Amino acid sequence: MKKFTCVQDIGDLKIALDEAFEIKKDRFKYVELGRNKTLLMIFFNSSLRTRLSTQKAATNLGMNVIVLDINQGAWKLETERGVIMDGDKPEHILEAIPVMGCYCDIIGVRAFAQFENREFDYQETIINQFIKYSGRPVFSMEAATRHPLQSFADLITIEEYKKTPRPKVVLTWAPHPKALPQAVPNSFAEWMNATDYDFVIAHPKGYELDPQFVGDAKVEYDQMKAFEGADFIYAKNWAAYSGHNYGKILSADREWTVSERQMAVTNNAYFMHCLPVRRNMIVTDEVIESPQSIVIPEAANREISATVVLKRLLEDLK
């Protein structure tokens, strides 16, 4: 594997899952693979799980790790070409990226959507510059439109907990006080559409995701109807995608907060969320603390998805 930014990069999901379960049984099996190799993790945004699980994954493979928080101690980076740099940004990303490439073998990048310009975000301008100019294999630690390490961990988790070969999986929008990117729901939809699960997306009108991610999924505006008979509920907030509403909050309707009322009509569904989660906005205390909540094993699987991805990138290093 030369890069990891979307579901296509991982190839056959069955093979990827087999590899994940092999690594879960013995996470140090490939500890020799990363000897004297360096992972550089670049964060433009905050993180708890991605930072810790990816660093752990790298050490499982015997790698050295360097972490840089761009907003804490690095020079502020200009990202647009052609700008006269007389403002507050002392360095251009077009120098910074190849320099970063000099000090490592693999680069992970976290760069969220900025919600200023949909085209800039949806063209994946930042991570694509890393791919183009770093000279290193690059993987996404959540970019503007996708969070594939999360979706891979979600898939592993569903495979571990499912009781039928073709479970009903519902991605539901839930309210949140701040505008959040579409990366997690886009990516989750992309990965679910690559399986043969029964996949439904529920959200209020106006929250339609980019059709390229919705694919053939069923879209439901009635949350209770979507939840009927569900085996997995995957909650997430996102801001509007469409047109002039891009990046806006259109609803704060707490009727959409996942509670025992909606869970009661499911097939005793498991509750999932990528975390961090705002309790009693996205999900009630009762549901997230219930035995059906699998948010912690889901987070634990981030180490597994990251180990598989780094292993594959290491195997393809020249």
Binding site for ligand AN0 (CB under 6 A): 142, 180-181, 183-184, 274, 276
Residue facing ligand CP at closest CB distance: 50
Within a 10 A sphere around the Cβ of 148, how many other Cβ atoms?
26
Site track 111-150 with ligand CP (rule: CB under 6 A), x = hit: -------------------------------x-------x
Q: Report the residue number, 155 or 314, with the smaller CB distance to ligand AN0.
A: 155
Could you give the CA distance from residue 180 to residue 237 in angstroms, rounded to a whole number?
A: 7
Could you give the CA distance from residue 287 to residue 150 in angstroms, rounded to a whole number?
A: 21
Q: Is 275 in the site for ligand CP (CB under 6 A)?
A: yes
Site track 19-58 with ligand CP (rule: CB under 6 A), x = hit: ----------------------------xxxx--------
Q: Tokens in use for 258?
A: 């996942």
The option from ligand CP, ligand AN0, none interacting with 181 (CB < 5 to 8 A, set by class) reads ligand AN0
Could you give the CA distance from residue 185 to residue 20 in angstroms, rounded to a whole number?
A: 22
Angle at the Cα of 277 (from 272 to 283), degrees rounded to 5?
Answer: 65
Could you give the CA distance from residue 48 to residue 243 in angstroms, rounded to a whole number?
A: 32
Residue facing ligand AN0 at closest CB distance: 180
Q: Report the residue number, 229 or 276, with the smaller CB distance to ligand CP.
A: 276
Residues 6+ apart with CB under 8 A from 129: 79, 93, 94, 97
Q: Is 176 in the site for ligand CP (CB under 6 A)?
A: no
Residues at the contact surface with ligand CP, assessed by CB under 6 A: 47-50, 142, 150, 274-276
